Amino acid sequence: MSKIEVKNAQGQAVETAELADSVFGIEPNIPVVHQVVVAYEASLRQGTHSTKNRSAVSGGGAKPWRQKGTGRARQGTIRAPQWTGGGTVFGPTPRSHAKRTNRKERKLAMRSVLSGKVADNELILLDGLSFEEPSSKQAAAVLKALGLESTRVTLILDDDDVITYLSFRNLPQVLIFGVSEANTRNLLDNGALVMTTAVAKQLEEVLA
Q: What is the DSSP letter of 133?
A: S
Cβ–Cβ under 8 Å, residues 134 and 166: yes
- How many distinct structural domains can be found in the chain? 2
Q: What is the reported pLDDT for 23? A: 92
- Does 128 have pLDDT greater than 80? yes
pLDDT at 157: 93
Give the range of the structural domain holding residue 76, as residue numbers without chain letter. Answer: 55-91
Q: What mean pLDDT is predicted for residues 104-114?
A: 95
Q: Which residues contact 201 (CB under 8 A, 6 or more apart)?
A: none
**131 and 85 in one domain?**
no
Q: Are residues 181 and 78 in the same domain?
A: no
Predicted confidence band at 208 (pLDDT cuts at 50, 70, 90)?
confident
**Residue 70 CB neighbour total at 10 angstroms:** 11
- pLDDT score of 129: 87
Task: Classify the C-alpha dihedral 179-166-118-151 as positive or negative.
Answer: positive
Q: What is the total residue count of the chain?
A: 208
pLDDT computed for residue 199 by the predictor: 92
Q: What is the pLDDT of residues 133-183, one digit of tens each?
A: 999 999 999 999 999 988 999 999 998 889 999 999 999 999 999 999 999
Are 26 and 71 members of one domain?
no
Same domain, 86 and 109: no
Q: Are residues 146 and 196 in the same domain?
A: yes
CATH number at residue 202: 3.40.1370.10
Please check whether residues 80 and 136 belong to one and the same domain. no
Q: How far apart are CA 58 and CA 31, in angstroms?
A: 47
Q: Domain check: are 70 and 153 in the same one?
A: no
Hey, how many other C-beta atoms are within 10 angstroms of the C-beta on 68? 7
